[in-house]
Structure 1
Amino acid sequence: MSETPASPERSLSQRLDALPFTKKHAKLLTGSGLGWALDAMDVGLISFIIAALTQHWGITTGEAGLIASIGFLGMAIGASLGGLLADRFGRRQVFALTLLIYGLATGASALVGGIAALLVLRFLVGLGLGAELPVASTYVSEFAPARIRGRLIVILEAFWAVGWTAAAVIGYFVVPASEDGWRWAFALGAIPAVYALVVRWGLPESPRWLAGRGRVAEAERIVAEFEAAAAGPVADGAASGVGAGAGVAPGPVAAPAGGADQAVASAAAPAAPAAAPIAASAGGRLAGLWAREFRGRTLSIWVVWFCVNFAYYGAFIWIPSILVDAGFSLVRSFGFTLIITLAQLPGYAVAAWLIEKWGRRPTLSVFLVGSAASAVVFGTADTETAIVAAGMALSFFNLGAWGALYAVTPEIYPTSLRGTGAGWAAGVGRIASIVAPLLVPVMLVGIGTAFTFAVFAAFFVIAAAATWGLVDRRGQALDDR
């Protein structure tokens, strides 16, 4: 077989986009997804722990809301700082730091003897988790081939359902088992963080970020490793397994012509120079978000993040407690929550398929409208069957929307602004997640469950409208400036 010389003009970005889905992609997706699942497990567990502490410690509704909100305050700060740090020091380095903070603070939470210490540790947990999510989506998007980039980010976000389901299982079996059940829940939440930290250190740095920082040789080496993996047997098991989990499998694309030797030759060829970064300093990156080219996108994505966070955390943090207040036992309400949580997985699966068929904006807006309708129905449900069915619909549409949101957010910014843009969007969203747990108890008492969930529906509708101010880069290369 004749070998065609690699084109000197072929950029790192083009080479990454030309790759099939390999075992290296699968490892990267799984390693990043573990951190994502841990985030979900922590957020999910705190809803069960709040319900348990209300019974065991006799905490007030206001204290319960403060426990929830202090974590989200940490997440808001963590998300904003994490994006800036990821653009400055690299994606992988920030990953490891966030998991270390999370693991230590979560483990220590199991030992607290009062609300004050728990609040301090919940804030530290929030710092770690808040920085983790936007950095993870940015990281994976920079490795993913353009034709399946949105799908892979939705699959990454589907790890949220894995973590939330784990939280529901722990909440159902462990938290109600004894007065110290919530302590064991915290301890279980800290153990996987150690493993995820080890996995993360085994992952490569983003070659797009490396090239943007002038570290072209390192970037070339990483891309060459992915090309060599593509020239060998493609990770059929991993690709089909991950794809099947979302209802779709990434389409096959031929490896570079000439097999493994050609893959190495391609990597050795000089790539086209990276585009000049838009900003090099933290201040420049923040200002860049509001440059003429990006200000409309920034405003729109901030509105979407704020509204989705308010509605999602306002509803899901309080669902176990709402069910207990409705007269269901602690164990029964936790069981209903577990069933509702399982509907997240098909929501991600459908979103992963549609996001490459319809595009980012149509998929996101349809799932947000579905979330709004489901919220209205859930707020007026008065039977066990209706509560579970409406809760499952809300879970299906809302988490599908989250998958699409995480897919579109990193794509709307160039590489030099990507971490900052994604981090600040998440940070603005976390402001809503701070307000919602504090406001919901007041709303439930003042206007009732039906009107409270109607408010959530209104926020979902506003978010759906704001999606149309975003750019849709389905199938397009990332902006590497």
Structure 2
Amino acid sequence: MTSATPSSSEALTRPERLDRLPFTRKHGRLVLGSGIGWALDAMDVGLISFIMAALIGQWALSPTEVSWLGSIGFVGMALGASLGGLLADRIGRRSVFALTLLVYGLATGASALAGGLAVLLVLRFIVGLGLGAELPVASTLVSEFAPAKIRGRMVVILEAFWAVGWLLAALIAYFVVPLSDDGWRWAFALGVVPALYAVVVRRGLPESVRFLEAKGRHAEAEAVVRDFEESAGVAAPMQQAPAQESPGLTSYDSGPQGGESTATTTAAQPGLGDLFGAVLRRRTTALWVTWFGVNFAYYGAFIWIPSLLFTEGFTLVKSFQFTLIITLAQLPGYALAAVLIEVWGRRATLATFLAASAVSAVAFGQAESDTTLLVAGCALSMANLGAWGALYAVTPEVYPTQVRATGAGWAAAFGRIASIIAPLLVPVLHRAGGLGLIFAVLGAAFLMAMVAALFLPEMTGEELVD
């Protein structure tokens, strides 16, 4: 058995000192603090899917207008994800996380006062800016603190808060939106909570040690590491290995068989161009295609499910009830992914859940009774959200510290293009072939993402590249 206290001859870097720690209360607080922001994020995205169904009747919206209401937020999310990642690599993960909560919380609260579609579209775009920037930044922050042996599991647990937020949205929609013509306004008013929580985030969460070191802020980095070591009851090493002032980009590209190639290092001070440089081009392409397929299928389905059920003859309350039950199935999906991701590995877990998502999507489109519709919907929800958990776990691991948030942000931004297109395409597919055609196309998107996922590097148990 090895001692928790290193010998005086050990010289560990600060990231190595974090990697050797067990899971502690500090890690728990980090996941909880980031997860609450994540849940509030999901609550906002989920609310618009239910509010769309309510406004179809109240504002007499056309299918095209409803499509834009569902898609405009993702236009903002695409821009927010790319800018948020760049900012996080320049001013810090925690600062961007808090700023995004403030932006989308205030814009969501203001949406409650919207008097027409044009104003609501503008506010939803602003909401999207904040939402898009937050998600990749939060997963990057948690990934950079998590010990290597449980890093994937911690990020999947973080992503599981998405289900909590979507469940909150479903509960608000079920109990608040149908109460009156202003029910949707009260639902939006609750969305101001993230703005208040931004203060907690800014004061309560630590800044990434890897980011602090990359910026030369070594005293702050040391204080954060010692805080985590103290929480774990682990003494700091007698010797501190020197931090790399300007780490380069090291490539360990692995293909579908998981083989590792010889390491290569690029020049210092990497930037956006390095994502498609010789070192990272292959993994960036695979990651972007995976994000595109998952976003297309997920948002094409879940943004429209309440409205599709309503147009298929369900009452508003019953469509919300079915969606609430389907949403509950997200939780076991995350739980299973959290277990498998450290047992099977990132790539196998992600590909398996995407394959199951494709099968479930086709089954949902072919369902001929309420029971089969509900069962297929729950299977789709469980498999799809398990895939999301695995995808968020692998994304920050693909890139080195200097471009980690940038890479994660741009992958999310490219995926958001699909989340813009899919809600606009759903009404067209519905007119052409009903639910069957819609979910056959979504199933094909899941399959495309599955194939791309097989070309991602396998990082299970590996240290993050600095």
* CA spacing shift, 1:460–1:4, aligned 2, 3 Å: closer
Q: Secondary structure at the match of 1:136?
A: helix
- Distance of 2:358 and 2:437 partners within structure 1: 13
Map 1:152-191 to 2 at 5 A.
Answer: 152-191=154-193
Deviation of 1:19 after TM superposition, in Å, equals: 0.6
The share of aligned pairs that are identical, in percent, is 64
Q: Secondary structure at the match of 2:23?
A: coil
- Distance of 2:267 and 2:306 partners within structure 1: 44
Map 1:305-316 to 2 at 5 A.
Answer: 305-316=291-302
Deviation of 1:282 after TM superposition, in Å, equals: 13
Which amino acid in structure 1 is aligned with residue 364 of structure 2? F
Q: Are 2:365 and 1:379 equivalent residues in the alignment?
A: yes
Structure 1 residues 375-384 or 186-195, which shifts more? 186-195
Alignment equivalent of 1:13, drawn from 8, 15, 18: 15
Which amino acid in structure 1 is aligned with residue 282 of structure 2? G
Write the deviation string for residues 46-95 of structure 1: whole angstroms up to 9, x where unpaired.
Answer: 00000000111111111111111110000000000000000011100101
Q: Are 2:260 and 1:274 equivalent residues in the alignment?
A: no
Structure 2: runs of 5 or more not aligned: 250-265
Deviation of 1:448 after TM superposition, in Å, equals: 1.8
Q: TM-score, normalised by structure 2?
A: 0.93
Alignment equivalent of 1:228, drawn from 227, 230, 236: 230
| Residue of structure 2 equivalent to 1:450 | 436
- Distance of 2:267 and 2:117 partners within structure 1: 40
| Residue of structure 1 equivalent to 2:121 | 119
| Residue of structure 2 equivalent to 1:91 | 93
Contact 1:96 1:201 in 2 (8 A): no
Write the deviation string for residues 141-197 of structure 1: whole angstroms up to 9, x where unpaired.
Answer: 000000000000000000000000000000101011100000000011212441254
Which amino acid in structure 2 is aligned with residue 202 of structure 1? G
Contact 1:31 1:196 in 2 (8 A): no
Alignment equivalent of 1:364, drawn from 329, 350, 362: 350
Contact 1:35 1:193 in 2 (8 A): no
Which amino acid in structure 1 is aligned with residue 27 of structure 2? H
Q: Are 2:326 and 1:340 equivalent residues in the alignment?
A: yes
Deviation of 1:271 after TM superposition, in Å, equals: 2.8
Q: Are 2:289 and 1:303 equivalent residues in the alignment?
A: yes
| Residue of structure 2 equivalent to 1:465 | 451
Alignment equivalent of 1:39, drawn from 38, 41, 50: 41
Q: Secondary structure at the match of 2:353?
A: helix
Which amino acid in structure 2 is aligned with residue 389 of structure 1? V
Q: Are 2:406 and 1:420 equivalent residues in the alignment?
A: yes
Contact 1:38 1:193 in 2 (8 A): no
Alignment equivalent of 2:276, drawn from 281, 290, 305: 290
Write the deviation string for residues 290-342 of structure 1: whole angstroms up to 9, x where unpaired.
Answer: 12121000000000000100000000100001111111100000000000000
Write the deviation string for residues 189-245 of structure 1: whole angstroms up to 9, x where unpaired.
Answer: 2124412542343111000111111111111110000000100xxxxxxxxxxxxxx
Which amino acid in structure 2 is aligned with residue 465 of structure 1? V
Q: Secondary structure at the match of 1:356?
A: coil
Contact 1:278 1:417 in 2 (8 A): no
Which amino acid in structure 1 is aligned with residue 154 of structure 2? L
Contact 1:44 1:167 in 2 (8 A): yes
- Distance of 2:270 and 2:461 partners within structure 1: 29
Contact 1:92 1:204 in 2 (8 A): yes
Contact 2:49 2:303 in 1 (8 A): yes
* CA spacing shift, 1:187–1:6, aligned 2, 3 Å: farther
Say how many residue pairs are matched: 448
- Distance of 1:333 and 1:373 partners within structure 2: 23
List structure 1 runs of 4+ shifted beyond 6 angstroms: 279-283
Q: TM-score, normalised by structure 1?
A: 0.90
| Residue of structure 1 equivalent to 2:78 | 76
Deviation of 1:283 after TM superposition, in Å, equals: 9.6
Deviation of 1:269 after TM superposition, in Å, equals: 3.7
Contact 1:311 1:459 in 2 (8 A): yes
- Distance of 1:193 and 1:380 partners within structure 2: 42
